[in-house]
Amino acid sequence: MTEEYEYITDDIEAIVTDYNLPESLRHRIYETIEDREGVTIEQADEIAQAISSRYEDSRVDAHDPVGTVSAQSIGEPGTQMTMNTFHYAGVAEIDVTQGLPRLIELVDARKTPDTPMMTVHLEDEYAENRERAHEVVWQMEATKILALGDISTNVADMIVQVDLNEDTLAERWPTVDNIDTVAQEIAETIEDALGVSTRRSETLIEFGPEEPSYRRLLQLVEELRDIVFKGLEDISRVVIRKEENEQTDGEEFVLYTEGSAFGDVLSIEGVDASRTTSNNIHEVYRNLGVEAAREAIINETMETLREQGLDDVNVRHLMLVADIMTNRGEIESIGRHGISGSKDSVLARAAFEVTVNHLLDAAVHGEEDDLDGVIENVIVGKPVSIGTGDVDLRMGSLETDGGAPSDSAAEHTDD
């Protein structure tokens, strides 16, 4: 286990192992000893003891009501949150839902956020050169016809005319030298999408309905405006920002998107997939799995609280929420359509929402409630099975044999 650590002796390894710490903490002790060459066995013991003490202090006591404490920890500052939508910190013109609405979105596990967005980090020269960063932008941002040129209609001849802008074509297709090739590609896209025949003269494209129809002519114009000629349909806009790179201590270009297409963006050349994030936890789940989704829930809830100045909430409470939402291998909401509605206890389900429906269904199906949880015991007036309520006190008779109490004297036993 310690082959990678040169200065770790068998004696030191035995001392550290005696403290029964998680493997990650043991490795941190080994790294600390490596950094301080010549550490004695006594010093190694002190280091291990200090870390063990901190570790034990951070652990939850047995029978502690962690769910209740977490709910209180998150719910109390949640009452101080605003109901507004804020600009994303430092990024002009990109609105992102913040405050209480965003927190509700997360715990409800909404399929699509009100304002989906991504933070896209770039690799190598794409992160250092603005022109190369723009190449990634044009592959991501949905390019529609109004961004490429002017549209006009000739009612007399029943023709729609598209006059493409050469400078815009050169900017959005930087890797294509021939503008004529781009114009032809656009014409073919129009034909495929609208089912019409086009006529092209350099950058001027004309087409119309098969049969003269003013209504159909207007429909073609409306449909033309919705066609995506380049980029991803779900990403309406991309903003470039120059920020500090924490890994290199230099500066880099970072892209912020309005809209999210996480899986498609990860495959674009120049995108750093290891650092790119989306605020859509379901997209993260579909592309990176449930562990990544759990991490996204933690990060998003923490960032939402931090934006409101409520970052003193212990991250472990947010981790517990994320664990509960993802522990079955998929993302579940906290509400009646998710975790609360799938509890084994009839009374716990009924206490949350739609009380009559739950009780009626339970009666029809002959369900029983074992009264194991907190909510159902509170309802029926029994001691709750947390803290001291989770311990039974059993008294034995004081029989004497030669003046000494028997082994059946008072004892504490757990359930």
Q: What is the pLDDT of residues 239-283, one digit of tens each?
A: 888 888 777 778 888 899 888 889 899 988 889 888 999 999 999
Give the span between the Cα atoms of 210 and 221, in whole angstroms: 14
Give the span between the Cα atoms of 31 and 22, in whole angstroms: 15
User: Is 118 in contact with 276 (CB distance < 8 Å)?
Assistant: yes
pTM of the complete model = 0.76
Residue 90 vs residue 253, higher pLDDT: 253
**Residue in the structure block whose two tokens are 């998710």:** 338
Polymer length in residues for the chain: 415
Residue 297: C-alpha distances to residues 67, 88, 105, 277, 306 (Å): 17, 18, 11, 12, 14
Beta strands 85-87 and 237-244, pairing class = unpaired
Q: Give the pLDDT score at 296.
A: 94
Nearest residue to 167 via CA among 153, 154, 183, 148: 148
- Convert the pLDDT of each residue in 10-22 to its tens digit: 777 788 888 888 8
DSSP per-residue codes, 77-134: HHTT----EEE-TT-TT-EEE-HHHHHHHHHTT-SS-SS-EEEEEB-HHHHH-HHHHH
**Residue in the structure block whose two tokens are 């209180």:** 72
Residue 46: C-alpha distances to residues 1, 139, 162 (Å): 21, 56, 77
User: Is residue 412 predicted with pLDDT exceeding 50?
Assistant: no
- Convert the pLDDT of each residue in 46-78 to its tens digit: 888 888 888 888 888 888 888 888 989 888 888
Q: Is 401 helix (H, G, I), strand (E, B) or coil?
A: strand
The CB-side HSE value for 404 (13 A sphere, CA atoms) comes to 3
User: Is 325 in contact with 74 (CB distance < 8 Å)?
Assistant: no
Q: Give the pLDDT score at 415.
A: 44
Domains observed in the chain: 10-58 (no CATH), 143-226 (3.30.1360)
Give the span between the Cα atoms of 5 and 319, in whole angstroms: 32
CB atoms within 10 A of CB 377: 19
Question: Residue 299 pairs with which residues in a beta bridge?
Answer: none
Give the span between the Cα atoms of 300 and 288, in whole angstroms: 16
Give the span between the Cα atoms of 351 and 158, in whole angstroms: 65
User: Is residue 387 predicted with pLDDT exceeding 60?
Assistant: yes
- Convert the pLDDT of each residue in 322-352 to its tens digit: 999 999 999 999 877 888 777 888 888 888 8
- Convert the pLDDT of each residue in 132-168 to its tens digit: 888 888 888 888 888 888 888 877 778 888 888 888 8
Q: Give the pLDDT score at 293.
A: 94
Give the span between the Cα atoms of 346 and 354, in whole angstroms: 12
Mean pLDDT, residues 192-210: 80
